[in-house]
Chains A and B, each alone.
Chain A
Amino acid sequence: MIREALAGRRIAVTGSTGFLGTAVVERLLRETDAEIVLLVRPGRRATAADRARREIFRNDCFARLRSEADDFEALVASRVRVIAGDVAVDGLGLDDEGRALLTGCSTVIHSAASVSFDSPLDAAVEVNLLGPTRVAQAMADVGATAHLVAVSTAYVAGSRRGRAPEALLPDTPFSTEVEWRAEVDAARRARADIDADSRRPGRLTRFMKEARAELGAAGTPLLATRAERRREQWVVDEMVELGRARAGALGWPDAYAYTKALGERALIETHGDVPITFVRPSIIESSLAEPVPGWIRGFRMAEPVIISYARGLLKEFPGLPEGVVDVIPVDHVVAAIIAVAAAGPSPDGPSVYQVASGSRNPLRYRVLVDLVRAYFKANPLYDADGQPIVVPQWSFPGRGKVQGQLERTVRALKAAEKVMAALPVRGKKAETSSGIESKREDAERALSYVRLYGAYSETEALFDDTRLRALWDRLPAGDQGSFNFDANSIDWAHYVHGVHLPSVVHHARVRTTGGGRSGPDRVERGRRAVLSPDRHLAVFDLENTLIASNVVDSYAWLATRRMPDDERVRFVLRTLKEAPALLALDRRDRGDFLRHFYRRYEDAPAGRLRNDAWQLFAHLLLTKSFPAGVRRVREHRALGHRTLLITGALDFVVDPLRPLFDDVVCASLGERDGRLTGELIEGPPTGEARALVMADYASAHGLSLEESVAYADSASDLPMLEAVGFPVAVNPESKLSVIARKRGWHVEQWARAPGGPRPLLPIGPRLVRA
């Protein structure tokens, strides 16, 4: 009956790149003869047709049809039309062709939605609240009177106890009445207000400060970019928070349900002559049988929680043990939508179908948790060392308690992170802070799951599905076979163990086998990549990358070279006393620091310094050098790569190192009558200046930075590291360690020669005078 009803009809689908939409398209294509019109939002670089090809038809949802059909491509070409359209734009942004196609449609399935539970309020409003109205409006504009099947959610009923009827919201008792237009205006205004707020001087200073705390003295352009990104993120966070608060205040669990609910109300008010039907699924999860058992697209709501649990990261999760987790397989929802489309609109005006399992075949929260636990006890995931992970036992605490615990954890870890970032540690020790950061991220993720999804495991509503049941009962046996949406047919133990969890684990790409890894480890792979013959330029920073020394050490050594013993110690101690102030300046801006510090060389005899620098090299720099680093430079040269040293150190200090590199870029001081002026001849190569130097150098030598390697130790070298295709963090300090971990950069831990001399103070050997 369904097949016959839809034969020859033209059905438009929105949201076809989404989880539900893709499945709808697949089923229409496979089980009906209907012509399908896909309304796809063009991407920034891809046309609607490109997106349809890549994001819809290449999905493994169509694997079955590809193997069953004689010529899949031809089938798609003959049955599917793609038009560019965007439900977040009035008139859907349709062109003439699009409008013409829409006119000829008999059914429009609107499944486009912003399904993320933590969307910014205004984004959710534009898509979820205004989307259905826009679709109806566009249909009215072209004079189409097709049946609009609007996919909503069962949770529009809000946080409530007991039965949630299968009825329009205005006809539902206890449903919150809100003037939706006012909500739209408020959301749009809020975006403008919060954006304006984010640009206030106080806030901007804070963003700048945060960027600096994250990156250190990485140079103005990078810091500015980062601060701006932080500002944008802050606006988004505020809008998300606003959505959550507003939804909560009106009795919905989150902004998604809240905007969907208002979307229904808006559509009821504005649909005009367009006949409409709402289909409200509950929590949609992987398919029970169609197109194949366990098909799922994207990581949705329960999946990240399940995987986090299986990885041992979620020690607790709130929920009512006897509560019902209303899960419905995607193929049931698809079948219901298609059945509704085939049945056509109700002659009595807008109507509602709820696709849920809770009232007919409830899955209790405790049962679900036990099933999941049993599954991962039998099929554990494995940690990085190849050891099976033991899953925790949940005790079903209240949401407040779990949330409180996690919030405390996050706060404690943040404090620890701050302390680590302030400590002058690098290398292995700095990895601790990257470890703390990753723990904090885990805790934050757990917290966000609890915040976002906790409500769904505590829900006490039971979604009525009498009307859907009646529709089911009217279907002939053949349709019931092909379009199953009978909740009673789900065997939860089979569904969880045999269908859903294997699929989730598969999609999560987690380790499911134990034992040590074979083949080269990550570090070795990183090393091979930087030492590949395909690279052609290696750029090195000097201080703490190749040598555990700095400009202050060098200065102290050179300045004391010809002083009497007691004076030397006094001098060095005096310089060291200034160290904290110098360090602070260095952290603010490396260039300013160098300029300031190099003033001390004013009036120094240039010739003598140049001579003494060779002693400095032999006695201090080499002593503090990292043999593995020096070896790496030479390995690059042996491979035929060019090597370039970029350092803020002074030329005469760097001179003895020149033979190690093909080229050296360093700072130089002016000279007058054989004495140094203490002023730099040109700006020091620090921060973003390094990236520019590298770009110039690469183009002058016909090299590509994409194929180049850069070695540096500090976040202030970020511009240099970001400029190349193969950045290497050497003994990274806390900030860089965190960044390197996040971006998957290769990290080297280079140490001074074991057992080598460790001079307490940067003082040269005593000079014996004649």
Chain B
Amino acid sequence: MGRPGFVLEVDRSTPPTLFHHGEGFRLEKLPVGARVVYPAEPLDAIADPDEAIRQALHNPLGDSQPLPSLLRGGMKLTIAFDDVSLPLPPMKRPDVRQRVVEAVLEMAAGAGVDDVVLIAALALHRRMTESELRQALGDRVYDAFEPHGMLLQHDAEDPDGMLHLGVTDQGEDVEINKRAATSDLLVYVNVNLVAMDGGHKSVATGLASYRSLRHHHNVQTMQQSRSFMDQHRSELHSSNWRMGRLIAASGVNVFQIETTLNNNTFPPAFDFLQKREWEWSFRDRAAFTASSKALQRTPPRIARQIFQGQRAPYGLTSVQAGEVEAVHAQTTEHVYEQQLVSVAGQADILTMGLPYICPYNVNSIMNPILVMCLGLGYFFNLYRGKPLVRAGGVLIMSHPTPWEFHPVHHPSYIDFFEQVLAETTDPAEIEAKYEESFATDPWYIHLYRTTHAYHGVHPFYMWYWGAHALQHLGGVIVVGGDTRSVRRLGFKPATTLRDALEMAEDVVGRDPSVTHLHSPPILLADVT
């Protein structure tokens, strides 16, 4: 059992603090009196995950029947699973999805079900590659299903592949994957990395279309989700729940399986990343120095390959199955158990080091828009109660922010960055003026459907993800970023953290209070 997360107050004896910085790290001396929020150490993993999964499938939560009793010969079974955006980084094989899917398939085979289709629930994300599917599901499942066309990837733009189930009392269209909607049983396999994942969001978002998503993936919803990690205060959550209930009411029979992981995020070579700096052993110091020096000499392209090749030694901490809401309530508790850290009061300045990965650049490039999304969308929202930084405060994030894009994965991002952001960075204006043309652009749709491209509207969602932070903050400074791209994002570039803190004082006043979010591993600040 690891130690819980905690808040350290920096004093003169505190060693420099580690900041993630893309495919590299920085050691920064934080001002005396600054606070550092550390995540908890990894919870103990379940010793026999396969047995735990079997137990969960046999002992469902809520009003659900055990899975074997829901399966029968001649039925139409669809297994949807989270796509490549989870978990981060990708976990060491076998992936938890592989374990769950194999267990479900075993039961289905036992019950004589032969109409089984697997669907990657990627919403408007990019289609997964063969190796990514093999990573998530294992070779056995892949080879058994893919050649027969029974391993599908959700296509939100397939005119014949979607089914409109109705409109919620708030006027929200609910349109999801037709195969999933018309199956006798829809099993959804989740990896719940953060509190936002899972619940009704799995089906209502993962298997939905633009027509449906636009009701909650918009500026207003995001600004009213404070934060979207806190289901009780998240409009994103509420909207998904309304849709989920409508899906259930439409007769779609969902059997939800959710899994939680501990935060054992980094492989042994990067062990020091999840230790507290003053506890670094000689080996940790040596590893840090060696890897930092080596990375400085490594061409960025190679460094990116090395980092993207990392596999997290995550351990399974819980598995829940059954009725969606009952499952999700328990899952959330498990996520909180690992991630929640109490923090008293807000700061004038929040600092964070952004790592090389976010949900949308697995095996890809973290382009400037994703830097914005990771910092202002994800990390800023890793709070419950109040943001870590006060209203009008300043966010300082560290990332190289290169003007780089993956031409296959992010084609619409390139145009968004070079055309839309050149005009304005205001989320509401962007939404009103440009969203529809990108969302309905036939070329982006073509690339989304046939290659491995994110949907044309996706960069807009990334920008909306940061809308709450943009509204809340008095300024954003990027340390060590490409000046041109940082400015294009509408932020201020700084060379060093010291400079950035000086610049921030112009906004928040003299002697500001500073909080540093020491993540990843991921934590959720419970700010009182």
Contacts and interface: CB of A to CB of B under 8 A. Distances in A.
B499 interface: no
A756 B406 contact: yes
A617 B451 contact: yes
B499 to A, nearest CB: 26
B405 A631 contact: no
B76 interface: no
A756 B404 CA distance: 7
Given A623-B407, A753-B407, A770-B147, A618 B131 contact: no
A404 interface: no
Nearest to A661: B443
A754 B403 contact: yes
Contact of B408 (A614, A618, A767, A768): A618
A631 B404 CA distance: 17
Residue of A625, A755, A765, A768 contacting most chain B CB atoms (<10 Å):
A755
Main secondary structure of the interface of B (DSSP, over half): helix
Interface in A724-770: 752-758, 765-768, 770
A765 B403 contact: no
Interface in B289-310: 300-301
A627 B143 contact: no
Residue of B139, B406, B452 contacting most chain A CB atoms (<10 Å):
B406
A632 to B, nearest CB: 11
Given A756-B365, A768-B130, A768-B131, A618 B407 contact: no
Nearest to A638: B437
Interface string B449-466: 011110000000000000
Contacts of A752: 407
Nearest to A754: B404
Contacts of A617: 450-451
B436 to A, nearest CB: 13
Residue of A624, A628, A659, A765 contacting most chain B CB atoms (<10 Å):
A659
Interface in A610-659: 614, 617-619, 622-625, 627-628, 630-631, 634, 656, 659
B408 A755 contact: no
Given A622-B451, A631-B415, A767-B130, 20 more contacts: A618-B408, A618-B450, A622-B453, A623-B408, A656-B451, A660-B443, A660-B446, A753-B407, A754-B404, A755-B300, A755-B367, A755-B404, A755-B406, A756-B404, A756-B406, A758-B301, A765-B129, A765-B131, A768-B130, A768-B134
Given A618-B452, A660-B443, A768-B130, A755 B411 contact: no
Contacts of B443: 630, 634, 659-660
Contacts of B411: 622, 627, 630
A634 B441 contact: yes
B130 A625 contact: no
A602 to B, nearest CB: 28
A757 B143 CA distance: 28
Contacts of B405: 627, 753-756
A770 B143 contact: yes
Contacts of A614: 450-451
A619 B408 CA distance: 8
Contacts, number: 80
Nearest to B449: A659
B414 interface: yes
B385 interface: no
A483 B453 CA distance: 83
A520 to B, nearest CB: 16
Contacts of A660: 443, 446
Given A622-B407, A627-B415, A755 B365 contact: yes
A757 B406 contact: yes
B317 to A, nearest CB: 31
A753 B414 CA distance: 8
Contacts of B418: 627-628, 631
12 contacts: A618-B451, A623-B408, A627-B415, A627-B418, A630-B443, A659-B443, A754-B403, A755-B301, A756-B365, A756-B406, A768-B131, A770-B139
B402 interface: yes
Nearest to B367: A755
B294 to A, nearest CB: 20
B442 interface: yes
Contacts of B131: 765-766, 768
B484 to A, nearest CB: 11
Given A617-B451, A768-B131, A770-B147, A625 B407 contact: yes
